[in-house]
Amino acid sequence: MKLIKLIFLLPLIISCGSAIDKQVKSNTDRKIIGYAAGYEKYDFSLIDATKLTHINFAFANIVEGKAKFELETDAAKIATLMTLKKQNPNLKVLYSVGGWVWSDQFSSMAAYESTRKKFAASCVELLLEHGFDGVDLDWEYPGQRAEDNVFRPSDKDNFTLLLADIRKALDAQGQKDKTHYLLTIATGADQVYIDHTDLGQAHKYLDFINVMCYDFYQGWMYQTGHHANLYPSNKEKYGGNSGVEAIDRHIKAGVPVNKLVMGIPFYGRQWEKVASADAVLYGSANEGGIIVSYWEILDKLKSGKYEKRYDESAKASYLWNATDKIFVSWETPKDIKLKAEYIKEKELGGAMFWEYSLDKDQELLNTLFESLK
């Protein structure tokens, strides 16, 4: 009788097991990737690795054609990151090359086969030296001007060739070590970035892509605006951008949805000397949008001078200080919850954020983690 019951129950058990496995796989595949800036004065041992799937240590530079860490504190901070695997054995720690300041050598290095291969080999060497699980490239930006960087029309093709060479070098080492080393990139959110890259081909060498869905309005813009709005604003005057538009551009470029990771800022942008109190959103300002961390913004709110405002069409929060004529575009737990719902609805690969030390008592990270579970 027990055997008969077991036979009849077996399909149900298998079915339930499959459903559980599928759910576990779904939760595991949804990434939460936090960048950790080595140049910030922050104790990496305070990072809560249980709420992260990946940490990207930023940044390595390109020196004499090779990936290299240049800060004296880098090695100690990397070692601390590796100890976080005791908290979370599934944690993957990558290092990121480039960033806004250190992208000036990418174009020249990527322009020739010999220098691409030299760089790819150095990426593997640096990975093995510190025990990383992969490499992240943050080239800002192929084929266009950024922070005093060299750029060429050929960057578009050379970027793909560079990724292919790094992927080949990582796979060769991975075969020896019987593991898979990750290769990822951080991408710009606008159409100009799409036009200067070939993501439809490039993604084939990548495990996933971190889309920087922030800085839509930033430092050199002397008008206020949302810097990380999820949807287009009906108050927009200058074209603008949004998270959903950035993701859609990547999909149209040929990137599979599950490889796309939505970037979220743990900081805001602040404009001072706003010209008119009647037009604070998308209004003129005499000082550009400087970066302010989430914890700094919470401190500002204690002054009582800031009024919380919300753009319903853009699903974006901002602050207005009428006394000092200061406008702040910022990311709140409410905004993060909405982005998490979009990530789940769209079946994206997960969320990335810049940067861990900018949070306040893990408030934003906790919201992201709970919302994506």
Residue 230, burial from CB neighbour count under 10 angstroms (0-12, 13-18, 19+): buried
Buried (b) or exposed (e) across 137-174, using 16+ Cβ within 10 A?
Answer: bbbbbbbeebeebebeeebebbbbbbbbbbbebbeebb
Six-digit token string for 335: 């905004």
**Alpha-carbon gap, residue 106 to 65, rounded angstroms:** 9
Cβ distance 58 to 79 under 8 Å?
Answer: no
Helical axes 363-372 vs 333-346, angle rounded to 10°: 30
Catalytic residue of the set 40, 140, 236, 345: 140
Q: Say how many C-beta atoms besides its own lie within 10 A of residue 15's C-beta.
A: 10
Q: Which amino acid, one-letter code, is at 81?
A: L
Count of positions (residues) in the chain = 373
**Alpha-carbon gap, residue 263 to 253, rounded angstroms:** 18
Q: Say how many C-beta atoms besides its own lie within 10 A of residue 112's C-beta.
A: 13
Q: Which amino acid, one-letter code, is at 3?
A: L
Q: Say how many C-beta atoms besides its own lie within 10 A of residue 52's C-beta.
A: 25
Nearest to 136 by CA among 65, 209, 192: 209
331 is catalytic: no
**Alpha-carbon gap, residue 107 to 95, rounded angstroms:** 20
Annotated active-site positions, please?
A: 140
